[in-house]
Amino acid sequence: MIQRLMITFVLLATTVAATQPGVNELSEQEKKDGWILLFDGKSTQGWMTPKGKPLPESHVQAESLNPHPCDYMLVYEKPLENFVLSLDCKISPKCNSGVFVRTKSLTPRPGKDVGFNGIEIAIDAADGPGFHTTGALYDLVATEVNAMKPVGEWNHLQIKCDRALIEVELNGQRVSRINLDEWTKPNKRPDGSDHKFDVAYKDHPRKGYIGLQDHGSDCWYKNIKLKLLGPAPGAISVDRP
């Protein structure tokens, strides 16, 4: 009886392992569900600088992308509109990074960095919840809970951009949400409190680039996957900066 149970357990474990994707790979189910792999774990193919220049392969470290150091952020080459972005991230002590979505354009406005042209999901070693902690919509919407694992451990981040709504999950918990249609004034949240960006987000472009920010510290990203909400993968248009 014990031997039979052990054999059953081994067969079950083997079956489960066979259905799990490796690092920077898609499972068969993910492929069927329409997920796209944005990083192959070996090269910077598909990624560029905000000026449209190729990236050095030194950004690939132990099957991960490290944006430090770079020209503000590593940019995925195709602008995106409605999608789910899934990735794993790990930070170094006192790290300050972020994932940008809907960055349009990649040319900074005079006196501003290119971050003002997008929306940042914070990746930060700061304590939370708060406006700058991991999973927050940076300086716009604070995290609801602190779901960040200790520095040096991998975290799973999922960002859903669907028309006016952006929702962020960290390690399986929803941590922040924004309805851009409610943000009608520059430098003001819907409740009237102040934030740093001179943007009325109801008018912000709904299609733009995603980016992995360098803010002066090492951080690593892997298993970067995308599922489009809307057009098929072949219908993505490519806008160059």
The residues spanned by each domain of the chain are 24-235
- pLDDT per residue as tens, the chain (241 positions): 566 644 544 444 444 444 688 999 999 999 999 999 999 999 999 999 999 999 999 999 999 999 999 999 999 999 999 999 999 999 999 999 999 999 999 999 999 999 999 999 999 998 889 999 999 999 999 999 999 999 999 999 999 999 999 999 999 999 999 999 999 999 999 999 999 999 999 999 999 999 999 999 999 999 999 999 985 444 444 444 4
- What pLDDT was estimated at residue 13? 45
7 three-state secondary structure: helix
Q: Name the CATH architecture for the domain at 24-235.
A: Sandwich (2.60)
- What pLDDT was estimated at residue 4? 60
Cis peptide before 69 (omega within 30 of 0): yes
pTM: 0.89
- What pLDDT was estimated at residue 181? 98
Cα 164 to Cα 119: distance, rounded to the nearest angstrom:
12
Over the range 124-143, which residues count as b (16 or more CB within 10 Å of their CB) and which as e? bbbebbebbbbbbbbebbbb
Cα 213 to Cα 119: distance, rounded to the nearest angstrom:
12
Nearest to 81 by CA among 208, 235, 212, 227: 208
Cα 167 to Cα 158: distance, rounded to the nearest angstrom:
8
Q: What are phi and psi of 230, to 5 degrees?
A: 130, -120
Cα 87 to Cα 103: distance, rounded to the nearest angstrom:
18
- What pLDDT was estimated at residue 122? 98
- What pLDDT was estimated at residue 16? 41
- What pLDDT was estimated at residue 127? 86
- What pLDDT was estimated at residue 12? 45
Share of the chain residues as helix, strand and coil, in percent rounded to the nearest 5: 15, 35, 50
- What pLDDT was estimated at residue 126? 87
Tell me the CA end-to-end span of the chain in Å, nearest whole number: 66
